[in-house]
């Protein structure tokens, strides 16, 4: 019961922190996507669901307001690079 109420508080604060960012300029519900760039590894952001199709708007808004610590960024980049190396060997 204690864990459930804590999870409920987390979800509620996430919802209120991100309210008003649910729709892109096309009027569609923005998708939450995860960045794997060197500059912003593993940071989530809102974006237009049609962007990769080439006919979406350029809507962008960070979902994660705070940046991770340097060690987290390094760990994510190393994991991404390892996955890419193994995928190249398999593929």
Q: Name the more confident of 48 and 2.
A: 48
**Residue closest to 29 by CA, chosen among 7, 54, 61:** 61
pLDDT in tens, 23-58: 999 899 999 988 888 888 788 899 998 887 887 888
pLDDT: which is higher, 13 or 73: 73
DSSP assignment, residue 50? T
Closest CA to 84 of 27, 52, 38: 38
Give the pTM: 0.53
Element (H, E) at 32: strand 31-34
Lowest mean pLDDT among 54-58, 65-69, 79-83: 65-69
* Eight-class DSSP state of 24: -
The predicted-structure confidence for 3-13, as pLDDT tens digits, reads as follows: 444 433 333 33
Q: Are 31 and 50 in contact (CB under 8 A)?
A: no
| Per-residue pLDDT at 67 | 63
What pLDDT does residue 37 have?
A: 84
């Amino acid at each position: 019961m204690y864990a459930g109420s804590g999870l409920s508080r987390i979800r509620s604060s996430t919802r209120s922190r991100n309210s008003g960012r649910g729709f892109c300029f096309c009027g569609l519900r923005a998708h939450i996507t995860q960045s794997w760039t060197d500059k912003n590894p593993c940071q989530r952001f809102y974006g237009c669901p049609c962007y990769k199709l080439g006919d979406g708007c350029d809507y962008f808004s960070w979902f994660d307001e705070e940046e991770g610590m340097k060690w987290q960024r390094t760990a994510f980049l190393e994991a991404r690079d390892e996955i890419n190396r193994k995928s190249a060997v398999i593929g």
